[in-house]
Amino acid sequence: MTLPTVAIGALGGTIASTSKDGTEVVPTLSAAALAAAVPGLEETATVRAETLASLPSPSLDEPTVVRTLAWAQAAVDAGARGVVVTQGTDTLEESAYLLDLFWERPEPLVVTGAMRSPQAAGADGPANLLTAVRCALASDSRERGVLVAFDDELHQARWVAKTDSMSTSAFRSAVFGPIGRCVEGEVVYGVPPGRVPALRLAPGQEARDPRVPLVATYLGDDGYVLDAIRAEDVDGVVIAGFGAGHVSARMAEAVGRLARQVPVVFASRTGSGPTGRAMYGYPGSEIDLLARGAVGAGWLSPVKARLLLWALALRGPLARADVAAEFELRGRP
């Protein structure tokens, strides 16, 4: 019997981390070693494993993710039915979303990792990798963009977030929930396939390296960080605002000054729910920030909003109207 081919690309993280002396762990294992440690994988798929990087995920960056995207596209062109990327969990919600923004193929691209390292009791890496492979091979996973497989659940890249620093069920999709589960080896979805169209990159555009900082606001913020950023060469700025995307009256002035120079997007720092559009009218409210030229992130978290703005900047200089239209399209379910 010919088994379907799955491509597994490893970037590092806890799932690939081992220890020499039984204490601290660092990424060491290859993609082939990760695949070899999964019971039953050889009866499920023909594996093409490739080690793309061996990094803790806080040290991954956008160019590495863009290179991973090119590798995944080449794997599909070479005949893989689906693709799995393994990486550290700390920034998994970001790489998965950045991949999703540009993943144009119908084939599934599934990102996973682990909270317990391979030598720990009850290591979750092999189970998560097997779930990710099953998800990548399932025909019902097609046309869904990039998915995150973790703890038997399947999440859409644009909503999923790491919401616990230690638990093996560290990933949640606030408000909308996971879209599927892997049960007794079967991949089951609660919603039909469908996705927002991917962003198109013209040849050479991936070589740009835009600067899009994320600024979190806080009690008593007078906007001095935003004013300092105004002197820098940035392509856009995202603010993690209070509640539905609010800032202080003094910070609102700084938002207005900055929005005259570059696109400014405000998101909610709450971890759940959208930015407002039409409720509050005080200085620093959503209505005030919109009037000052800022754009609401909608349902996207601050880190996902930053990635969307970065991805748009990769294609060239940003016009406010285009930014607003893209956030309108991609910031809602």
Among 86-94, 103-111, 144-152, 243-251, the segment contacting ligand ASP (CB under 6 A)? 86-94
Helices (H), 114-239: 125-137, 224-230
Does residue 44 carry a catalytic annotation?
A: no
Coil, helix or strand at residue 246: strand
Residue 4 is encoded by which pair of tokens?
A: 């379907």
Contacts of 303 (CB under 8 A, 6+ apart): 93, 94, 97, 214
The verdict on 86 binding ligand ASP (CB under 6 A) reads no
The verdict on 90 binding ligand ASP (CB under 6 A) reads yes
Min CB(127)–ligand ASP separation in Å:
14
The verdict on 13 binding ligand ASP (CB under 6 A) reads yes
Min CB(213)–ligand ASP separation in Å:
21
**Residue of 2, 5, 14, 270 marked active site:** 14
Angle subtended at Cα 199 by Cα 60 and Cα 271, rounded to the nearest 5 degrees: 60
Min CB(238)–ligand ASP separation in Å:
22
Closest among 61, 38, 184, 65 to 123, alpha carbons compared: 38
Contacts of 248 (CB under 8 A, 6+ apart): 217, 220, 221, 222, 223, 284
Nearer to ligand ASP, 90 or 221 (CB): 90
Q: Binding to ligand ASP (CB under 6 A): which residues in 48-67?
A: 56-57
Q: Is 2 annotated as a binding residue?
A: no
The verdict on 69 binding ligand ASP (CB under 6 A) reads no
Instruction: Draw the binding track, 192-211, toward ligand ASP (x: CB under 6 A; -: no contact).
Output: --------------------
Among 82-90, 178-186, 199-207, 278-286, the segment contacting ligand ASP (CB under 6 A)? 82-90
Q: Is 151 annotated as a binding residue?
A: no
CB-CB neighbours of 263 under 10 Å: 27
Residue that is written with structure tokens 């379907």 in the block: 4
Q: Is 168 annotated as a binding residue?
A: no
Q: HSE (CB half, 13 Å, CA atoms) of 225?
A: 13
Q: Which residue is nearest to ligand ASP (CB)?
A: 88
Burial 190-206 (b: 16+ CB within 10 A, else e): eeeeeeeebbebeeeeb
User: Would you report the helix, strand and coil content of the chain in percent, each value rounded to 5?
Assistant: 35, 20, 45
The verdict on 89 binding ligand ASP (CB under 6 A) reads yes
State the Cα–Cα distance between residues 87 and 10, nearest whole angstrom. 6
Q: Binding to ligand ASP (CB under 6 A): which residues in 110-129?
A: 113, 115
Among 88-96, 234-242, 252-260, 265-273, the segment contacting ligand ASP (CB under 6 A)? 88-96
Nearer to ligand ASP, 17 or 217 (CB): 17
The verdict on 14 binding ligand ASP (CB under 6 A) reads yes
Catalytic center residues: 14
Q: Would you list which residues are annotated within the binding site for substrate?
A: 57, 89-90
Q: Would you list which residues are annotated within the binding site?
A: 57, 89-90
Residues forming contacts to ligand ASP in the complex (CB under 6 A) are 13-14, 56-57, 88-90, 113, 115
